[in-house]
Structure 1
Amino acid sequence: YSNVLLRSYEALSYSGQKVGFVSEKQIAAGGLSAFKLLVVPYATRVDPATLSGIKAYMEQGGRVLLIGSHALELEPHGAAQSAEERSYVFAHADKITAANWTAAQIRSFLQPILEDIAPERMLLKEAATGELPYNVEWRSTEHEGRVLLNVVNYGAEPVLAAAEADGNQAVRYTNLITGQVHEGGALELEPLTPYLFAVEMGADNGNGNGGEGSE
């Protein structure tokens, strides 16, 4: 369980996602309503109230990713869970049946799910490949009318990457730590260097060339 938990956390964190943890007690009390996605990382034994809480969350539109074919199989003392509730959860969840996937494999599986539940999220993409960089953690938020992007490259080599969100490319990055301004293009992210940018986004007209967009 702990290894799958760590790999799942890494997969989400290196996808630009804020990750939280929720206890079984919180799940039973309806605490999943604050989340768009629940990842169950090979948790084979849970309280029956936890399984019921997950089922209720899914019935209200929540998304669940189960990792491991034996997830949610037993009660804490080894009794089988409700077959009806577990069957419902398995029928409606996204599933990775193997418990030995790497964090990179889990991250790849997660991308269409994250795109579905948060299409507006900010992405970093490597300049050379157009793929998400690995070993790079980023978070974005809006604050006082500005888009802020916090980035750390945990790898051993610099990474060239550019930000985009909802089809729009970043056109200007202001480093709020150094005061430097970078106009468009890819950023060079040095290893183990914290960055905090105010990001100005351009518009996208649907063909990747910029221009006025429509919804």
Structure 2
Amino acid sequence: MKIYIYFTILLIASSLIVNWFFPAYAWRITKELKQELAVKEAAVKANPNDAVTQFDLAVTYAYTNHLIDGMKTISRIPELNPKFKNQAIATYVEEVTAKPADWRLRFRLAFAYYFNDMKTLAIKEFENVLKLDPYNVWAYGYIALIYGEMGEVDKAIAKTRAGLTIDSNVAALHLLLGEGYIKKGDSWGGWKERLEAVRLKSLGF
């Protein structure tokens, strides 16, 4: 027990030292994304019973670090329109075909595949996002999440690490990595990553 306390203190102290001398440059929402988010929220407020606008907002939340809000929003969709899940694929395939270089549309298509349990296609579409936007840490995170759900833990860990090489201060990625380590039997590594996720989240990352 004492050794765990010692390592906890050491880890926290190390984190504080690193943050003091090397300030964190974590992912931050851009002005453009803030404006996009405001537009999507306004659309839902104006038409709260429309499944399309709810889905649009939920996916926007997904790539603007509002993960809990995204899950709450998307949970309303089946009640609003039980058929939307199936309709979404056709809708976003058409939109992506018309605008193949728009990573936001590909993000939406990836989620449409995911919520129809087409996980391999969802991963492929998130990979397409990365071809268009190689520094999109959220695409890495969702690929890792899906691999984890598929039981491919090594691939999930690899994708999470790849995202962290772009930005090591994304709390959600550290949490994913921690879950991966725990599934691999590395309790200490998992606990350490969870602690880092909590630390970063407390700093607003």
TM-score (norm 2): 0.26
| Structure index of larger Rg | 1
Higher relative CO (Cα under 8 Å, sequence separation at least 6) belongs to 1
Structure holding more strand per residue: 1
Structure holding more helix per residue: 2
TM-score (norm 1): 0.26
